[in-house]
Chain A
Amino acid sequence: QSALTQPASVSGSPGESITISCTGTSSDVGNYNLVSWYQQHPGKAPTLIISEVYRRPSGVSNRFSGSKSGNTASLTISGLQAEDEADYYCSSYAGSSTVVFGGGTKMTVL
């Protein structure tokens, strides 16, 4: 299975909103509402911030939101803060009890 497609980088100023896309196919993102998003700060393990397309785990800021349309899922971060600067990865169920990740997006707060 091929990796999901994410932009290599995005940026925004404090207080602004940004959206990161995650494009797959009808065999993964388009066929299942099992898209997750992970945040990874440099040198740290990833943390789950969105599951099942739009669900936020307990403790995750409501500035993070997820959505999906067709074969593309999206993560929106509103009210950007310096601490949001990190790498972001999407993942999707891909059939046969497997998961595929996106290539990752480096998010910079200007």
Chain B
Amino acid sequence: QVQLVQSGAAVKKPGASVKVSCKASGYNFMSYGIIWVRQAPGQGLEWMGWISVYNGKTNYVDKLQGRVTMTADTSSNTAYMEMRSLRSDDTAVYYCARGNGYTFGSHIYYDMDVWGQGTMVTVSS
């Protein structure tokens, strides 16, 4: 069955970096995108951005530009999300989701049809 399995929880100090992995199975990894979403404790969902596994193209939400990098390794069917210069307000559960893609004109849209189990990232001194 289609499954996304994420890496375990991480505790980081302010200013450090974190890299979360998301291993896909049960489908053709290159035929879908991967979207990253985070959820701060007790808060709602925040869309972070996506990567096209097929060509490596990425798109990030403006507020995270310059601090986040999304990559995908097709040899291991694993996607990664790295965030740098961590702050306390980056404390959240980070989810990866499989992206069912639509292209229309210059637009690219990914629906999020299968989700990973989430990775808790705590930023604390």
Distance A97 CA – B47 CA, assembled complex (angstroms): 12
Which bucket holds chain A's interface residue count?
Answer: 20 to 34
Closest chain A residue, CB of each to CB of B58: A97
Which of A9-17, A45-53, A63-71, A74-82 participates in binding chain B? A45-53
B82-109 contacts to A, CB under 8 A, are 95, 100, 102, 107-109
B59 within 8 A of A: yes
**Is A38 in contact with B45, judged by CB distance below 8 angstroms?**
yes
Q: Which of A73-110 contact B (CB under 8 A)?
A: 89, 91, 93, 95-104
Are B44 and A103 in contact (CB-based, < 8 A)? yes
Q: Contacts A34-B102, A45-B118: A51 and B59 contacting too (C-beta < 8 A)?
A: no
On whether the beta carbons of A98 and B115 are closer than 8 Å, the reply is: no
Interface size class of B (residues with CB under 8 A): 20 to 34
Nearest CB in chain A to that of B49: its residue:
A98
| Nearest CB in chain A: distance from B103 CB, A | 9
**Residue B117 lies at the interface, judged by CB distance under 8 Å to chain A:** yes
A51 to B101, CA, bound (A): 12
Q: How far is the CA of A91 from the CA of B45 in the complex (A)?
A: 9
In the complex, what residues of A have CB within 8 A of residue B113's CB? 48, 51, 57
Report A-chain residues with C-beta under 8 Å of the C-beta of B110: 99
**B73 contacts the other chain (Cβ, under 8 Å)?**
no
B positions within 8 Å CB-CB of A: 35, 37, 44-47, 49-50, 59, 61, 95, 100, 102, 107-118
